[in-house]
Structure 1
Amino acid sequence: MQNPTSADIQRVREFLIDLQARICSALEQQEKLGGGTATFEVDDWQRPEGGGGRSRVLQNGTVIEKGGVMFSHINISKLPASATERHPNIAGAKAQAMGVSLVIHPRNPNVPTSHANVRLFVAEPEGQDPIWWFGGGFDLTPFYPNDEDVLAWHQTAAELCAPFGEDIYAKHKQWCDDYFYLKHRDEQRGVGGLFFDDLNQWDFEKCFEYMQAVGNGYLKAITPIFQKNQNKPHTQAQRDFQLYRRGRYVEYNLVYDRGTLFGLQTGGRIESILVSMPPLAAWSYRPEWDENSPEKRLVEYYLKPHNWLAELS
């Protein structure tokens, strides 16, 4: 297996910094199109153990109620349990991890919450060659979904996967369904997308190319959904349902998300780790929805795994 050079790692870092900037610029444009003026505030930070990052957060926007697009490149002197459970051979090794992770919580319930993440991890066990892999993906969590958006989201995912193998979309789509699953609720977090981890099955360059395709694919997939839905009218009842469903997002991120656990176990920057939390959420005791309502259909149909390309094409 080809080991990355310092120049390779620098190229990944440069891509990630540029990706963060492009995503923030595109989302600020959506704010302007919706009549808003909010922008992403820049917060550069350093970590005592080594490394740091750039947190970019937009709050109280007209279109985006809260969005965080975070870049980090950290050094780790001793890997925590969240990183070594699946890789016991690197327990206690020093390592570095870098990535861009984002969660965007729109104000309008007709626009889904979206998440994306791309990252590189390099461990250096004493007396061994470096062990590296890429990870990432993107997924969509709608409140009032429509078939056209769900299909377009998955078509973008399938198209970016195609050059890397005819089985990649199906494999990473299934991985996404399995990963973003709330076991205690027996429901998916949303309508899925792509998820991959431990990617080193190809040489470093091809793995990096795939990570870039996924990172760039997020903007291609989410921008039309914003443009189509961000100015749709909505009721207070729909807003209340959005806040209720955001509660599920909080539950998932605090109970299951490996990135959150990794950040907490490595002594990460709490503000950056928990930026994925929505500004407002609600929990209702045993709410009930009308049998033929869109709220009922979300839970009973859309929050189940489907072959979206086959069903909606």
Structure 2
Amino acid sequence: MTSTGMTSEKDEAAGWFRSLRDEIVTAFEALEDAQTEGPLSERPVGRFEVTPTKRRGDDGEDAGGGLMSVMRGGRVFEKVGVNVSTVFGTLGAAAQASMAARGVPGVEADPRFWASGISLVAHMQNPHVPAVHMNTRMFWTPNAWWFGGGADLNPCIEYADDTAHFHDTLKRHLDPHGADLYPALKVWADEYFFIPHRGRARGVGGVFMDDRCTGDWHADFALTRDIGRAFLPAWLPLAEKRRGMAWDEADKDVQLRHRGLYAEYNLVYDRGTKFGLATGHDPDAVLMSLPPLAKWV
């Protein structure tokens, strides 16, 4: 399939990311409602604040936008954001050079682009509940298209059975697309979600892909959908299991120090953060992933 146009494919992808966002927001608010016992159950249930976001092009004209949905200070979630966006315009010189270096054809000759996706990061009240990240996206230029994204688990207090459940669920959703796919995307995640200056991973991994273009748009989109579909069954049971556990100040200290690692990674290395800021998207939406509190030695 050539890249030119693809109006119906773009609409289908953007619609999917929005529907996945709606499903996740509903599930997260239901998790807040269910927290009627244990730590912080006396406080009001958390609810998402939804804010439209806008991107302006270099000429000041409308260049798309989306929805920033953030919940703060809930019973289960200390801060969680579930953002969707669909943006378009012209790539800057640095973005063109970066994509050309990755082998994306034609971006320097024709720098127009369109991108749509969902991005989620959850930081939890209870240190026993693992933080988590998920994003999937479609990117288009007049000469190319591709999908990217993934999900990874970021516990500050690790439980081997939680890690196994998360990975097993991802594998079950990816296996129909090829038995070799989950192992390859797991290795990619281990390499991508690594903090070189700390010499360690930011969590216990997951799956990750970028520049996914086999030439079969429908097959690649189906894979992208299944990464998104895997998220709730992979993570929600862990939150339900751990959300009522007692914690102490030592546990909270471990959590805040681990969040420092997360903040360092997202500000220094994360490709999505760099792209969002470089292309003029709403900085509050781009930096939604940062934790509300963190701690360094």
Q: How does 1:87-236 map to 2 (within 5 A)?
A: 87-88=100-101, 89-91=106-108, 93-124=111-142, 130-236=143-249
Normalising to structure 2: TM-score of the pair?
Answer: 0.91
CA contact (8 A) 1:83 1:262 kept: no
CA–CA separation in structure 1 for the residues paired with 2:136 and 2:120? 9
Runs of 4+ residues deviating >3 angstroms: 1-4
3-state DSSP class of the match of 1:213? helix
* 1:172-225, Cα deviation, whole Å (9 max, x unpaired): 000000000000000001000000000111400011100000011111101100
Normalising to structure 1: TM-score of the pair?
Answer: 0.86
CA contact (8 A) 2:56 2:280 kept: no
2:76 maps to a residue whose letter is V
2:45 maps to a residue whose letter is T
Question: What is the aligned-residue identity percentage?
Answer: 37
Q: How does 1:1-313 map to 2 (within 5 A)?
A: 1-3=1-3, 5-35=6-36, 36-49=44-57, 50-82=63-95, 84-88=97-101, 89-91=106-108, 93-124=111-142, 130-284=143-297
CA contact (8 A) 2:24 2:232 kept: yes
3-state DSSP class of the match of 1:85? helix
Gaps of 5+ in 1: 125-129, 285-313
For residues 282 and 11 of structure 1, do their structure 2 counterparts lie closer, same or farther at Cα, with a shift above 3 Å needed?
A: same
Deviation at 1:48, TM superposition (A): 2.2
CA–CA separation in structure 1 for the residues paired with 2:151 and 2:96? 21
Aligned length: 279
Bigger shift: 161-170 or 43-52?
43-52
1:278 maps to a residue whose letter is P
CA–CA separation in structure 2 for the residues paired with 1:78 and 1:173? 30
CA contact (8 A) 1:80 1:266 kept: no
CA contact (8 A) 2:117 2:137 kept: yes
CA–CA separation in structure 2 for the residues paired with 1:183 and 1:221? 27
CA–CA separation in structure 1 for the residues paired with 2:113 and 2:92? 7
CA–CA separation in structure 2 for the residues paired with 1:188 and 1:76? 34
For residues 80 and 71 of structure 1, do their structure 2 counterparts lie closer, same or farther at Cα, with a shift above 3 Å needed?
A: farther
The residue that corresponds to 1:287 in the other structure is none
Bigger shift: 254-263 or 84-93?
84-93
CA contact (8 A) 1:68 1:103 kept: yes
CA contact (8 A) 2:65 2:87 kept: yes
- Cα RMSD (Å) of the superposition? 1.3
3-state DSSP class of the match of 2:56? coil
CA contact (8 A) 1:96 1:123 kept: yes
2:73 maps to a residue whose letter is N
For residues 156 and 103 of structure 1, do their structure 2 counterparts lie closer, same or farther at Cα, with a shift above 3 Å needed?
A: same
CA–CA separation in structure 1 for the residues paired with 2:225 and 2:274? 25
